[in-house]
Amino acid sequence: MIYIDTGSCDVYYNFGCEHYFADKKTFDDTVFLFWRTSPTIMVGKYQNVAEEINIPYVKEHNINIVRRMSGGGTIYTDMGGWQFTFIDKNTENVIEFRRYISPVIDALASFGIKAEFNGRNDLCINGKKISGNAQYRLGNSIIHHGSLLFNTDIESMVNATTVDSYKIISKSIKSIRDRVANISEYTVDSKGQSIDIQPEDFKEAMVSSILSGAKRSEVYDITHEDDVCIKALADSKFNNWESIYGSNPRFNIERSARFEGGKIVFKLDVIHGKIESASVYGDFFSILDAADITAALKGCAYSREAVYDAFVRNGMKDAIYKISIEDIAEMIAD
């Protein structure tokens, strides 16, 4: 097994590392990464960003958004959590989790933690989820990666992934508390006494345990040439609008609100993150036909900023009585 310390808490760089060592610079042995990120929402390959996250909260709190190359659900992670990655050369088109989850279970056992694989893609303690896992193929490599909730901010997790969560925050946290747990709540010493472990110490122990369980292990240091390529992959594959929003599946959405000038309703057809068609109705007043209002949206990115800019470009700043284009843009795309 070859261990690589990415030396970064940038989620785009770390996913760039996965891509690089799976496709550009490969090894005959298993590559192992153990990393973490600043607060981040990771959306699955087949998910719709608009339906999975609370965009206003995420923007206000400078939370990163990234789309994984693997399937599965949306997760929140921060500096209190860890991610692990295994990269293997493999030509079989099979998803198999247990091979990569087993060494993680064994490593957790060194902290007195009895974690169990739930048979799909999660690791649990006493029925509570502490880890989600996913796999994907890239070239001749299989990439298995997973999250570990060590001391993650559960409140931020709820706020970032639940639209209008401020209305139901206490209920949401209780619900999530019933289903997830932080590993730090279960760490004990050899006598079964609860112990306080720092995230960095947890990482060192986990890496040491996983490497010691391999037939052979070595450490590979990222070179300057590697770093340049990884950063390029981070930007081209992960840290851009097209990768995050352009990969959204087609969806229809209805947005409505009542303002001083009346009620206005938009129905939108969104394809690959852009508005393909729209209709508008309500009891508002305007100097424009409905077709003129909706024409401004065709081809526009589904975001508050893009909608606002589209209305400005089309001269609609004061076209709707007592309803500002700022309010409309916020209503349409949060």
pLDDT band at 170 (very low <50, low <70, confident <90, very high): very low
Phi (first) and psi of residue 112, to 5 degrees: 80, 20
| Domains of the chain: total | 2
Beta strands in the chain (DSSP E): 2-4, 31-35, 40-43, 64-67, 75-77, 81-89, 116-117, 122-125, 128-138, 141-149, 218-219, 251-259, 262-271, 274-282
Do 79 and 174 share a structural domain?
A: yes
| pLDDT per residue as tens digits for the range 7-20 | 999 999 999 999 99
| pLDDT per residue as tens digits for the range 184-212 | 988 876 677 777 889 999 999 999 999 99
Residue 138 amino acid letter:
L
Domain CATH number, residue 216: 3.30.930.10
According to the model, what pLDDT value does residue 194 have?
75
According to the model, what pLDDT value does residue 175 have?
58
Q: Which of 65-79, 219-233, 243-257, 269-283 has the lowest mean pLDDT?
A: 243-257
Do 141 and 71 share a structural domain?
A: yes
Q: Which of 61-70, 73-82, 188-197, 214-223 has the lowest mean pLDDT?
A: 188-197
Where is the domain boundary, 227, 244, 261? 244
Q: For strand 81-89 and strand 116-117, is the pairing parallel, antiparallel, or unpaired? A: unpaired
Do 264 and 237 share a structural domain?
A: no
Do 117 and 23 share a structural domain?
A: yes
Q: What is the percent of the chain where pLDDT is above 70?
A: 93
* Mean pLDDT, the chain, integer: 88
Do 322 and 260 share a structural domain?
A: yes
Q: What is the percent of the chain where pLDDT is above 90?
A: 58
Do 255 and 228 share a structural domain?
A: no
Do 74 and 30 share a structural domain?
A: yes
Do 85 and 40 share a structural domain?
A: yes
Do 164 and 293 share a structural domain?
A: no
Quote the tokens at residue 295. 């024409």
96 or 28, greater pLDDT: 28
91 has pLDDT over 70: no
Distance CA 84, CA 65 (A): 18
Do 300 and 224 share a structural domain?
A: no
According to the model, what pLDDT value does residue 168 have?
38
Domain CATH number, residue 313: 3.30.390.50
199 or 33, greater pLDDT: 33
| pLDDT per residue as tens digits for the range 104-116 | 999 999 888 899 9
* Percentages of the chain per state (helix, strand, coil), in multiples of 5: 35, 25, 35
- Which phi-psi region, left, alpha or beta, contains residue 72 (left: φ > 0; alpha: ψ -120 to 50)? left
Where is the domain boundary, 244, 277, 300? 244
pLDDT band at 93 (very low <50, low <70, confident <90, very high): low
Strand-pair partners of 275: 270
Do 155 and 119 share a structural domain?
A: yes
Where is the domain boundary, 244, 275, 306? 244
| pLDDT per residue as tens digits for the range 224-267 | 999 999 999 999 999 998 898 887 788 888 889 999 888 999 99
The residue segments making up the domain with residue 205 are: 2-244
Rounded to an integer, the average pLDDT of 81-105 is 87
Do 70 and 209 share a structural domain?
A: yes
